[in-house]
């Protein structure tokens, strides 16, 4: 493989670098050192060339309404607010809150929601989404902040 292809593969393994390259905020030398896949100068040059080819970074947004369902719990019931694998979350008097966005947006918006919740240090118990719908389950005490974050995104 070439330095360029190795660099691109390494960047794809670290999505924050990909987003940073698209946003034009990456120090190429520091990123090359972080990736540690070859000579720093050559990797830095490959990063610079790769960044020039990428589409400009645009924050994902959507048009949606946000709702909150308090008292969410794990359940054996197959009909609920969110089912992932064999785990279903229902409005059954539990300690969690489900925050749901519904509207016009791509399923990838869930990634933006999860990243913002992570940087706000809000633990996500479960999450799922499709085009036009995204649900995250958080601890009840974190729900007000989670709702504000999701509303700011959509």
User: What is the reported pLDDT for 3?
Assistant: 92
39-54 average pLDDT score: 94
Q: What is the mean pLDDT of the chain?
A: 91
Q: Say yes or no to pLDDT of 2 above 70.
A: yes
Domains and CATH numbers, the chain: 3-53 (no CATH), 63-153 (3.30.2130.10)
Question: SS3 sequence, the chain?
Answer: CCHHHHHHHHHHCCHHHHHHHHHCCCCHHHHHHHHCCCCHHHHHHHHHHHHHHCCCCCCCCCEEEEEEEEEEEEECCCCCCEEECCEEEEECCCCEEEEEEEEECCCCHHHHHHHHHHHCCCCEEEEEEECCEEEEEEEHHHHHHHHHHHHHHC
| pLDDT tens sequence across 112-151 | 999 999 999 999 999 999 999 999 999 999 999 999 999 9
User: What is the reported pLDDT for 77?
Assistant: 73
User: What is the reported pLDDT for 66?
Assistant: 94
| pLDDT tens sequence across 66-88 | 999 999 998 877 778 888 888 89
């Amino acid at each position: 493989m070439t330095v360029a292809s190795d660099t691109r593969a390494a960047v794809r393994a670290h999505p924050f670098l990909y987003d940073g390259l698209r946003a034009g905020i990456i120090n190429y030398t520091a990123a090359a050192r972080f990736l540690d896949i070859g000579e720093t100068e050559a990797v830095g040059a490959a990063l610079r060339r790769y960044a020039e080819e990428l589409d400009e970074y645009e924050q994902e947004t959507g048009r949606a309404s946000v709702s909150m369902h308090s008292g969410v719990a794990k359940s054996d019931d197959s009909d609920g607010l969110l089912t992932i694998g064999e785990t279903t979350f229902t409005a059954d008097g539990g300690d969690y809150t489900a925050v749901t966005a519904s509207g016009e947006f791509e399923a990838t918006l869930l990634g933006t929601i999860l990243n913002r919740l992570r940087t706000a240090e809000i633990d996500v118990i479960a999450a799922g989404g499709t085009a036009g719908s995204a649900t995250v389950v958080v601890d009840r005490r974190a729900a007000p902040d989670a709702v504000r974050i999701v509303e700011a995104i959509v």
